[in-house]
Amino acid sequence: MAFGLIIVGDEILSGKRSDKHLPKVIELLGERGLQLSWVEIVGDDPARLAMLLERSFAGPDIVFCSGGIGATPDDHTRQCAAKALGVPLALHPEGRLLVEQRIRETAQEAGIEADLNAPDNLQRLKMAEFPQGAGLIPNPYNRIPGFTVADHHFVPGFPVMAWPMIAWVLDTHYAHLFHRERRAERAMLVYEQAESVLTPLMEALEARYPDIRVFSLPSVGDERTRRHIELGVKGEPAQVENAFAEMRAELDRLAAEYELL
């Protein structure tokens, strides 16, 4: 099963904030022997977000979505998820209790008594309105839950909340997928070679070894290093070793200069 990531927020697209979720999700998956297959970033545009979620729900992937699940006017993720699924939003009973508990705790910290019927607190309850049939994702930071529906898992945009929530989802729902597929990667720096010269070799290796991928990352060089290509193989360990050995042999035949990584 493939894993995807949707990052929601105008602040990412405008540059007001830099995304931190992508490298962390890659790390969380990698620690469990999993890998990210795709990522999409979308702004706070309800029509575009609903369209993206409708397409994502129609696919087979496990998807994490961060951002936009609050209750302010620029938070649209809960509503768009419901629209994409064709179901109404519903106040989750356990979610309501968690939000009310957080309201009481916040009031207690301020030395006042919570009024659950106050307009601002009724507005906060919207954070427990999820697509009908959704389950909860516990939030260890402030109790306000995320939600999960149809192998899509929605968490806040705040890293301090989102990251432990994503880890909880992986450990709770997908432990059976951990380290199921053994993978390896070998790479080298090849100096002063054109990618066009190396492309036939790359194509031949992928054709001969169906469970590997060959990659090339060219660099024009800088004050510390010459022009080079990071050339490598990743995938099933035995095929990686065989393909990498053939790659080195061909580079030797071409008298290419390279450095193993």
Return the pLDDT at 196. 92
Q: Where are the domains of the chain?
A: 3-177, 184-260
- Supply the pLDDT for residue 237: 95
pLDDT for 224 equals 85
> What are the φ and ψ backbone dihedral angles of 90, each rounded to 5 degrees?
-140, 140
Q: Are the CB atoms for 92 and 134 separated by under 8 Å?
A: yes
**How would CATH label the architecture of 184-260?**
2-Layer Sandwich (3.30)
Distance, in Å, from the CA atom of 31 to the CA atom of 23, rounded to the nearest integer, reads: 12
pLDDT of residue 221: 83
pLDDT one-digit tens code per residue, 222-251: 888 899 999 999 999 999 999 999 999 999
pLDDT of residue 117: 94
Both tokens of 64, joined, read 């994490």
pLDDT score for 132: 97
Please tell me the predicted confidence (pLDDT) of residue 212. 95
Work out the angle at residue 5's Cα, subtended by the Cα atoms of residues 185 and 41, and round it to the nearest 5 degrees: 115
**Residue stretches of the chain with pLDDT short of 70:** none
pLDDT tens column, 168-193: 999 999 999 999 888 899 999 999 99
Q: What angle do CA 123, 151, 146 make, to 5 degrees?
A: 25
What is this structure's pTM? 0.88
Residues 6+ apart with CB under 8 A from 35: 3, 26, 29, 183
The class (CATH top level) of 3-177 is alpha beta
Q: Tell me, what's the pLDDT at 219?
A: 93
Asked if 4 contacts 56 with a C-beta cutoff of 8 angstroms, the reply is yes
